[in-house]
């Protein structure tokens, strides 16, 4: 039996001298306790050394992927093919299948072979002659580094771990700066409390303290480099009437030292931000264009790496950072959050509260495309991100102007938006419910009487008209139609006034009196309108009598 053993220096092929001992798997390790015992079990037959690291890397990557490299194929053809009747012991079963297919050699992979390989590895320095131990360790270390770089597809410009560290440090610096500035304001506030109200900017506050020191030095120091003229005048005025306590020079020196620390940290923070900006543009330019440097870096940091972030769908990118709220909403069966870290993007921030959910969803969809393009694409152009951002801005403008276009059809027709009418929730008190008088019954009776009178009138008129001539009948009919229309209009107007007064009026008695007066007014015009018809008929009769008398004379 032959054994194929891979090392960082090259391929080694051993000949098994005593195959019977391989059957005792549990006690096989005892045969490799010393190099002398190991030489009794196996013997080196051939060693093929790698020429350089690139060849070693190519051979190692081929073995990792379960393929047969050129060097291995050459060795097997030179050594093993001559003794084709013997079996070849290997560590990887997948590689054994490839060797069997291509070279028609029988390969063996079993627990005994694995134990044998472990024994050979422990006594490798004694079994393989011509290789010093230091050289083997150096070659194995170099191959390990090369292999890890190949696995990661190493490129110094594409290391996103630097972004993760930079954004974490930036957040830590912000927290420390806030703590330091708060402590500085509180500490110096005992000596000069009015200065904190006059100077709101933290950096200007620290620089002013470092410049003036004690409060008494304000009159003699020039603050034109740090503060504008108006603020400088206010500081001088406040120093003269300050209510602060006196402090020693040692206290002032410690406060100034703290101010120096604040200024140094803030300067380092600006430098770190510029570094992060450049790294983001190098590693994820499209993501930076879509959401900005800080938000993009926080998304990468939250996902762990750019590649992990590229594996997330758009819906996950949208709520990344709001996991706590998401699981709380699912637990309590309420609405899930609409946005996470993406909320801090400039595009979401400039929208109204009503459209923030829609814009964050659309931005997440385009951002996920940009992330995949950055992580897996070969080009580093930002054309795609610029185009998608322009589309989102157009969409945002449509939403803000309430010009939401229809998705189906030609897309030219605007969606109908009903006019908003504000309905007040304030309810007025209806006093008519307090009255015990039957106001509704009286109203109904009066309406019934009026309807009966209206029905009777046209019948009387028709009876009188039958005696008259044809032209007079047509004229009277037109007059009666006009009168009816006038009556109906008046009745409708009066009823509307009645309803308004009922809703507004206070006590029920006042309303009933007003109703009675209006009813009397209604009855009077009806009587006045009937009288002229009777007068016209009497006049006509008199005229006829006069005509007859004249004819008789």
Cβ neighbours of 228 (radius 10 Å): 10
Q: Report the pLDDT value the prediction gives residue 359, as an integer from 0 to 100.
A: 94
Burial class (CB in 10 A: 0-12, 13-18, 19+), 101: exposed
Q: Report the pLDDT value the prediction gives residue 59, as an integer from 0 to 100.
A: 83
**What's the rounded mean pLDDT across residues 54-82?**
80
Residue 444 token pair = 């109904």
Q: Report the pLDDT value the prediction gives residue 5, as an integer from 0 to 100.
A: 84
Cα distances from 5 to residues 235, 376, 447, in angstroms, run: 82, 37, 116
In this structure, of 71-85, 94-108, 141-155, the range with the lowest mean pLDDT score is 141-155
Cβ neighbours of 359 (radius 10 Å): 24
313-332 pLDDT tens trace:
999 999 999 999 999 999 99
Q: Is the pLDDT of residue 407 over 70?
A: no
Backbone phi, then psi, for 426, in 5-degree steps?
Answer: -75, 125
Q: Report the pLDDT value the prediction gives residue 256, as an integer from 0 to 100.
A: 93
Q: How confident is the model at residue 524 (pLDDT cuts 50, 70, 90)?
A: very low
- Contacting residues for 524 by C-beta, under 8 A, at least 6 apart: none
Q: Is the pLDDT of residue 248 over 80?
A: yes
Q: How confident is the model at residue 509 (pLDDT cuts 50, 70, 90)?
A: very low
**What's the rounded mean pLDDT across residues 16-20?**
80
- Which of 48, 53, 47 is closest to 128 using CA atoms? 47
- Distance separating alpha carbons of residues 406 and 387, to the nearest angstrom: 22
Placement of tokens 């047509």 in the chain: 474
Bridge pairing between strands 107-108 and 2-6: unpaired
Question: For residues 48 and 10, is the Cβ–Cβ distance under 8 A?
Answer: yes
Q: Report the pLDDT value the prediction gives residue 82, as an integer from 0 to 100.
A: 73
Share of the chain above pLDDT 90, in %: 32
**What's the rounded mean pLDDT across residues 526-552?**
59
Question: For residues 279 and 163, is the Cβ–Cβ distance under 8 A?
Answer: yes
Q: Report the pLDDT value the prediction gives residue 439, as an integer from 0 to 100.
A: 57
**What's the rounded mean pLDDT across residues 80-103?**
79
Q: Is the pLDDT of residue 9 over 60?
A: yes
Q: Report the pLDDT value the prediction gives residue 490, as an integer from 0 to 100.
A: 73
430-460 pLDDT tens trace:
777 776 766 555 445 555 556 666 555 544 4
- Contacting residues for 369 by C-beta, under 8 A, at least 6 apart: 384, 388
- Distance separating alpha carbons of residues 271 and 266, to the nearest angstrom: 9
161-191 pLDDT tens trace:
899 999 999 999 999 999 999 999 999 999 9
- Which of 479, 442, 435 is closest to 457 using CA atoms? 479
Q: Is the pLDDT of residue 461 over 50?
A: no
Rounded mean pLDDT of the chain?
Answer: 78
Cα distances from 466 to residues 309, 471, 476, in angstroms, run: 99, 12, 12
Cβ neighbours of 157 (radius 10 Å): 8
Q: Is the pLDDT of residue 398 over 60?
A: yes
Domains and CATH numbers, the chain: 2-152 (3.30.420.220), 161-272 (1.10.287.4070), 281-401 (1.10.246.90)
Of 406 and 378, the structure prediction assigns the larger pLDDT to 378
In this structure, of 249-258, 299-308, 347-356, 429-438, the range with the lowest mean pLDDT score is 429-438
Most confident of 19-33, 157-171, 496-510: 157-171
- Distance separating alpha carbons of residues 31 and 432, to the nearest angstrom: 113
DSSP of 479-525, one letter per residue?
Answer: HHHHHHHHHHHHHHHHHHHHHHHHHH-SSHHHHHHHHHHHHHHHHHH
Question: Does the pTM exceed 0.85?
Answer: no
**What's the rounded mean pLDDT across residues 468-486?**
52
334-358 pLDDT tens trace:
999 999 999 999 999 989 988 999 9
Of 140 and 249, the structure prediction assigns the larger pLDDT to 249
**What's the rounded mean pLDDT across residues 230-239?**
90
Question: For residues 254 and 261, is the Cβ–Cβ distance under 8 A?
Answer: no
In this structure, of 177-191, 274-288, 346-360, 459-473, the range with the lowest mean pLDDT score is 459-473
In this structure, of 20-24, 81-85, 87-91, 240-244, the range with the lowest mean pLDDT score is 81-85
Q: How confident is the model at residue 386 (pLDDT cuts 50, 70, 90)?
A: very high
Backbone phi, then psi, for 498, in 5-degree steps?
Answer: -60, -45
């Amino acid at each position: 039996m032959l054994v194929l053993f891979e090392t960082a220096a090259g391929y080694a092929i051993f000949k098994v001298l005593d195959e019977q001992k391989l059957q005792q798997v549990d006690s096989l390790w005892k045969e490799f306790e010393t190099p002398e015992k190991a030489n009794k079990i196996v013997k080196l037959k051939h060693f093929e050394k790698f020429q350089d690291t690139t060849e070693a890397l190519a051979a190692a990557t081929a073995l990792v992927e379960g393929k047969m490299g050129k060097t291995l194929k050459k060795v097997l053809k030179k050594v093993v093919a001559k003794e084709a009747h013997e079996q070849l012991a290997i560590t990887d079963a997948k590689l054994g299948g490839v060797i069997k297919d291509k070279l028609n050699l029988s390969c063996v992979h079993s627990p005994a072979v694995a134990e044998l390989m472990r024994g050979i590895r422990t006594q490798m320095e004694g079994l393989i002659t011509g290789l010093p131990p230091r050289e083997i360790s150096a070659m194995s270390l170099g191959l390990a580094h090369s292999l890890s770089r190949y696995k990661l597809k190493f490129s110094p410009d594409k290391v996103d771990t630097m972004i993760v560290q930079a954004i974490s440090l930036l957040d830590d610096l912000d927290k420390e700066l806030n703590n330091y500035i708060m402590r500085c304001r509180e500490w110096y506030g005992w000596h000069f409390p009015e200065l904190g109200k006059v100077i709101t900017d933290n950096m200007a506050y620290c620089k002013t303290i470092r410049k003036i020191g004690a409060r008494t030095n304000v009159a003699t120091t020039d603050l034109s480099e740090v503060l504008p003229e108006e603020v400088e005048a206010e500081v001088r005025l406040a120093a003269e009437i300050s209510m602060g306590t006196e402090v020693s020079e040692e206290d002032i020196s410690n406060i100034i030292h703290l101010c120096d620390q604040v200024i140094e940290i803030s300067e380092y923070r600006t430098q770190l931000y510029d570094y992060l900006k450049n790294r983001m543009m190098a590693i994820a330019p499209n993501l930076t264009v879509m959401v900005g440097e800080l938000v993009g870096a926080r998304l990468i940091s939250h996902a762990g790496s750019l590649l992990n972030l590229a594996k997330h769908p758009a819906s996950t990118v949208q709520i990344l950072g709001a996991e706590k709220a998401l699981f709380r909403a699912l637990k309590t069966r309420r609405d899930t959050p609409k946005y996470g870290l993406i909320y801090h993007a400039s595009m979401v921030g400039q929208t109204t509260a009503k459209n923030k959910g829609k814009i964050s969803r659309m931005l997440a969809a385009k951002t996920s495309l940009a992330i995949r393009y950055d992580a897996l694409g070969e080009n580093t152009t930002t054309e795609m991100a610029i185009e998608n951002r322009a589309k989102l801005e157009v969409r945002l403008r449509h939403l803000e102007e309430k010009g939401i276009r229809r998705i189906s059809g030609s897309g030219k027709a605007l969606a109908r938006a009903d006019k908003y009418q504000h309905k007040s929730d304030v309810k007025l008190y209806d006093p008519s419910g307090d009255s015990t008088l039957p106001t509704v019954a009286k109203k109904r009776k009066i309406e019934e009487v009026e309807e009966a009178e209206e029905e009777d009138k046209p019948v009387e008129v028709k009876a009188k008209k039958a005696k008259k001539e044809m032209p007079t009948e047509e004229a009277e009919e037109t007059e009666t139609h006009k009168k009816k229309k006038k009556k109906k209009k008046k009745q409708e107007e009066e009823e509307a006034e009645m309803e308004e007064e009922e809703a507004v009026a206070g006590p029920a008695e006042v309303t009933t009196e007003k109703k009675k007066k209006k009813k009397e007014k209604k009855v009077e015009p009806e009587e006045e309108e009937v009288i002229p018809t009777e007068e016209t008929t009497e006049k006509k009769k008199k005229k006829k009598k006069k005509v007859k008398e004249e004819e008789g004379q």
